Amino acid sequence: MIHEPIADLERRLHCMGLAIAVSAMCLAAPAGAESGQRADRAPVLLAQATGAAKPAAQAAAGNPARARADLEALIKAASAEGEVTIYSAAPDSIPRRTGAAFTKKYGIKASFIRLSTAPLAQRYFAEAEAGTFAADIVITAGGSDPYTTDGIKKGWIDPISDANLPVVTSGEFPARFNDGLSPIVQVSPWMIAYNSDRVKGADIPKDWSDMLDPKWKGKILLADPRVGSVFTQFWLMLQEKYGDGFFTQLRALEPRRYPGGIPAIQGLAAGEGHVYPPVIAAVVTGVKEKGAPVDTVTPEFTTGVQFYLALTARGKAKHPNAARLLANYIMSPEGNQVFNDEPGIAGVYDTKRLPKQFVLPKPVTKAQIDNMAKLLGY
């Protein structure tokens, strides 16, 4: 099979005793690789990589008593630092909500800068090359995060397996979402967004193929797939299912093209079009909370975006302990629920929220990204 449906995904995600090596850790480079970004890792990490280092933190996994003691010590050290800075590719609502809950729980100020993954990685790399590390913790979106392996080699990033996080040493965090480098903390399925003032009732699209209806001519909004590999992963899924003819028909509908997902959803909210495929829930939430007339449909057959967490190296970060406490919070059942507390997304403790025909995103090459941009008319 080309894709892996959610039924198979669920079976794989519960193979906790298997030691599955993470394959294709460094594939052909995605967009931005020529400027320092590294290639995509495998899309879903089911267990610790067999070749990963096994420090004392890993060896102690499943030790709740030690984890409690470690958490108390971490809280004390983090409280002394008093603040933490997040670089986040997740839409504003996620780091804002999570940071507020973290501050309320621990009394530590959390501030964030929001950028899409490609410019976020470029900014992080530029600051690292200059020896300045503004970000203590980084959250990126993609089929995988775009920089962790290179960052670890350069000493900029600490593998999560070396961070001694209590949620890991206790065995609480699902190992299937942790390769020892940067854990997955969210899976967000792709959706169809529509302007609820313009599209109602039977006209609301239910599936991706509904986008080809002639009634949408001049009313479809698209984001440039070159802004991040995640868009190309989605379009490749449709290419494999429907072929290049899908894109020929889509181009004939004269879609409005935008440089990225945020401008596209803003255009939808402003009535510049009627439908916008694809979009993730958190992007829609940001404009909907401001009163914009937008809503979404999640097709049963879809793929999604995974969000990864990485830690700036302890010797580089300004607030290393606060960063580790925040990472521990986001990876805990409590914090992961807060991080994913929006319709249409799934946390690592609740994969049943994914659509029935959800398929895993695949790593993509820069050539595939460029080709998809042409197929979409860019």
- Please report, to the nearest 10 degrees, the dihedral formed by the alpha carbons of residues 352, 5, 41, 284 taken in order: -60
pLDDT at 183 over 60: yes
Cα gap 336→346, rounded to integer Å: 9
Selection from 153, 168, 203, 187 nearest residue 328 by Cα: 168
User: In CATH, which of 3.10.180.10, 3.40.190.10, 3.40.50.10190, 2.40.50.140 is domain 28-188+304-353?
Assistant: 3.40.190.10
**Least confidently predicted of 26-30, 171-175, 228-232, 351-355:** 26-30
Phi-psi bin for 320: left (phi > 0), alpha (psi -120 to 50), beta? Answer: alpha
Inter-residue contact 306 to 132 (CB < 8 Å): no
Helix (H, G, I), strand (E, B) or coil at 157: strand
**Which one of 146-150, 172-176, 332-336 scores highest in mean pLDDT?**
332-336
Cα gap 335→32, rounded to integer Å: 31
- Output the 3-class SS for 265-330: HHHHHCCCCCEEEEECHHHHHHHHCCCCCEEEECCCEECEEEEEEEEECCCCCCCHHHHHHHHHHH
Q: How confident is the model at residue 121 (pLDDT cuts 50, 70, 90)?
A: confident
Q: What is the mean pLDDT of the chain?
A: 83
- Please report, to the nearest 10 degrees, the dihedral formed by the alpha carbons of residues 316, 317, 321, 322 taken in order: 180
For the segment 94-100, the average pLDDT, to the nearest whole number, is 96
Find out if CATH 3.40.190.10 is the number for domain 189-302+362-375: yes
Cα gap 167→68, rounded to integer Å: 9
**CATH 3.40.190.10 in the chain, residues?**
28-188+304-353, 189-302+362-375
pLDDT of residue 19: 24
Inter-residue contact 37 to 123 (CB < 8 Å): no
Inter-residue contact 297 to 204 (CB < 8 Å): yes
**Which one of 27-31, 148-152, 170-174 scores highest in mean pLDDT?**
170-174
For the segment 237-262, the average pLDDT, to the nearest whole number, is 96
Cα gap 346→339, rounded to integer Å: 10
For the segment 53-72, the average pLDDT, to the nearest whole number, is 65
pLDDT of residue 149: 81
Selection from 122, 131, 116, 120 nearest residue 37 by Cα: 122
Helix (H, G, I), strand (E, B) or coil at 346: strand
What global pTM score does this model have?
Answer: 0.73
Tokens representing 196 are: 């609820």
Q: Which amino acid is at 19?
A: A
Q: Which amino acid is at 169?
A: T
- What secondary structure letter does DSSP report for 74? H
Inter-residue contact 179 to 49 (CB < 8 Å): yes
Helix (H, G, I), strand (E, B) or coil at 13: helix
**Phi, psi values for residue 83, rounded to 5°:** -160, 165
Tokens representing 54 are: 């096994």
Tokens representing 351 are: 């994969």
Structure confidence by residue, pLDDT tens digits, 8-61: 433 333 332 222 222 222 222 333 332 233 334 444 433 233 233 343 344 445
Selection from 328, 316, 308 nearest residue 136 by Cα: 316
Q: How confident is the model at residue 62 (pLDDT cuts 50, 70, 90)?
A: low
Higher pLDDT, 75 or 363: 75
